[in-house]
Amino acid sequence: MAEETANLCSCCGEPLPPGNLAWDLEMPDPVAYLDDDDRAQRTLFESEQVFNIAGLGAFIRVILPVPVEHDRTATFGVWLCVPDAKEWTRINEAARKGGSAWAGTTFEGRLATALQPWPDVFGAWTRAVVPGPDQVPRLVHSHDPLLARVLTERWPEELIRTRGLHAVRPLSGGPTPNPYRRSLWSRLSGR
């Protein structure tokens, strides 16, 4: 019986292939927190890769690559909230064009997934880059100490596999400054 549950996804309960180190979370935590009626009324756009929810913001699926022991990488399909409307428009235009216009697109946002076993990464500012044409953006950097560790340190495979249930979090607290945004002074001085 224990072997059967070990091969089931801790988030959705679906069977996992042996050796699986890839999981996708269905929706951003703040969206999952809404009841069905509220979500239906507030949804401006929804797809497997994008959510745009009135009053919550625009979310895009990104890959969070996590280095794992034995030179492996676990991947989590998580969600990034892009709070700046101009930035969101730029991302959408590049995605619509696809191909070389999409490849190399870089953008920042706040992680909208309280990923186990590191739930405190929720809300951390991070940078994503599209690695190639028609590929899902990947998180590549964060100023947040915990998220930076998740992205760069090697983690035990057992910790990744037995990470427990994903408990969604509501979007709370006020906006935090984007550490990637250059100040007006740095733009004027060319730095």
- pTM (two decimals): 0.81
pLDDT bin (cut points 50, 70, 90) of residue 4 is very low
pLDDT band at 125 (very low <50, low <70, confident <90, very high): very high
144, pLDDT greater than 90: yes
Q: Where are the alpha helices (DSSP H) in the chain?
A: 2-6, 29-32, 36-42, 85-97, 99-102, 145-152, 157-161, 184-189
- Identity of the amino acid at 151: L
Give the pLDDT score at 161. Answer: 79
**180 vs 141, more confident:** 141
d(CA 31, CA 42): 10
> Quick one: pLDDT at residue 136?
96
Is 29:170 a contact under the CB 8 Å cutoff?
A: yes
Q: Residues 58-117: pLDDT tens digits? A: 999 999 999 999 889 999 999 999 999 999 999 999 999 999 999 999 999 999 999 989
pLDDT of residue 188 exceeding 50, the answer is no
Strands 72-82 and 22-24: parallel
pLDDT interval class at 132 (50, 70, 90): very high
Rounded to a whole number, what is the largest CA-CA distance in the chain?
Answer: 64
Residue 172 or residue 166, greater confidence? 166
10 Å CB burial of residue 138 (0-12, 13-18, 19+) is middle
Distance CA 139, CA 160 (A): 18
According to the model, what pLDDT value does residue 77 have? Answer: 95
